[in-house]
Amino acid sequence: MGQKTIQPTRLSGRVKVPPSKSMAHRAIICAALAEGRSTVENIAFSDDILATIEGMRRLGARIEDIGGALVVDGIRQGQAMGGTPEIDCKESGSTLRFLIPVALKMAHGARLIGQGNLGKRPLDVYTKIFDEQGIAYQAQGPLLDFQVSGQLRAGTFSMRGDVSSQFITGLLFILPLMEEDSELIITTHMESKSYVDMTLSVLADFGIRVENEAYRRFIIPGGQKYRATRYRVEGDFSQAAFFLCADAMGSAVQVEDLKRDSLQGDSAVLDILQRMGAEVCQEDGTVCCRADALHAVDIDASQCPDIIPVVSVAAALCKGTTTIRNARRLRIKECDRLHAIAQELNRLGGKVVEFQDSLEIDGVEMLEGGVQADSFSDHRMAMMLAIASQKCRLSISIGNPGCVSKSYPGFFDDFRSLGGTTE
């Protein structure tokens, strides 16, 4: 488990953030479903991505790492590895929810296992469909152990839009391969639209057509085929957000490999920091966020939950009171992030009040530090605390810093390269 002690230090320099984990999941799955050989470039082998790679191998894809790129030979139905495939999702909710429909189509089922809080992630959107279609399933806990068998059929699927968009994406991956047409009917307001946009974009790059009717209805023609292609994964805004917030709080960091017109929902960090008073600059192929002072704003977390931990740090240093709304989904991440954010920022000397689905943060000039901080074994909490350290008067120690391997294994290497100190 271990710990790292971090001294307050202003960060400075250039950093190339890892490729988008969200886009990488999608590209790997699409490549594995394509006929022929694809190349997926700019891959970072985080625990979550390794889970998806190995899951698609279990379903019959041949995937080879050639120095940070993947060469993928697509699955032919029936190629799944012996009997019912067992897929270890580790702690990746994306791997779990994306691969359940894929496994039903390509292998008529699978056993999906996992660790940590993954077993607490709801699957009721799928189980309702399985009940309607006579697909057998069994769930055991507390750790994830979900078994499913049967054949998913084309048809009309109704689901809420205010639950995880991962269910929508999972169905969008596989319904184009059905012989008949299908449609998804969204019965409520759609949250996390950007994640659906990312899915539709990657599907289109691999030759799949889906008609989006204002996020209320998705029409998916059957009988389609994925087209093998060469795909490059763009830089990850959910990871860049840590260094962009650091920049806005007084560091001098330039972040490489970001698309200003990205479909990633977490690119909202640029808008949030701009509204707080930062100037977003593009310099020599990099993005930075400079500010003389930050002021409080209202933040809607529904479309960008993953950046809320580090945005909360920026809010804690703003003049005035920031409210972060529509954040209930943060309670079912790797930890209860609403509680964890409030607890740890308050221990550092912040002023945070936790509500059922929101946070209220009164800004302070500086944080105190001088504590043993708890990462809750959550990668985004560990990185949040590291960034918070630069605005502390005293050093902080972070428990289980190695949990960053879930999404950003090289985070502390990059942190040190920018002048951060860790012991």
Give the C-alpha distances (Å, rounded to integers) separating 302 from 56, 173, 182: 30, 23, 27
Answer whether 404's CB lies under 8 Å from 377's CB: no
Whether residue 306 lies in the annotated active site: yes
Answer whether 4's CB lies under 8 Å from 422's CB: yes
The dihedral region occupied by 129, where left means phi > 0, alpha psi between -120 and 50, and beta the remainder, is alpha
Identify the CA nearest to 418 among candidates 8, 6, 18, 12.
Answer: 12
Residue 222 sits at the vertex; the CA angle it makes with 219 and 228, to the nearest 5 degrees, is: 105
Give the C-alpha distances (Å, rounded to integers) separating 190 from 155, 187, 324: 21, 9, 19
84 φ, ψ (degrees, to nearest 5): -80, 115
Identify the CA nearest to 95 among candidates 190, 28, 20, 192.
Answer: 28
**Token pair 């080879």 in the structure block, residue:** 64
In angstroms, the CA 19 to CA 70 distance is: 13
| SS3 assignment for 190-219 | CCCHHHHHHHHHHHHHCCCCCEEECCCEEE
In angstroms, the CA 184 to CA 164 distance is: 14
Q: Classify the C-alpha dihedral 30-36-40-46 as positive or negative.
A: positive
At residue 235, what is the residue type? G
Which position among 48, 73, 257, 306 bears the catalytic label?
Answer: 306
What are the start-end ranges of the E strands in 247-306?
A: 252-256, 279-283, 286-290, 298-300
Task: Read off the tokens for 209.
Answer: 């057509």
Identify the CA nearest to 32 among candidates 2, 7, 57.
Answer: 57
Show which residues are catalytic: 306
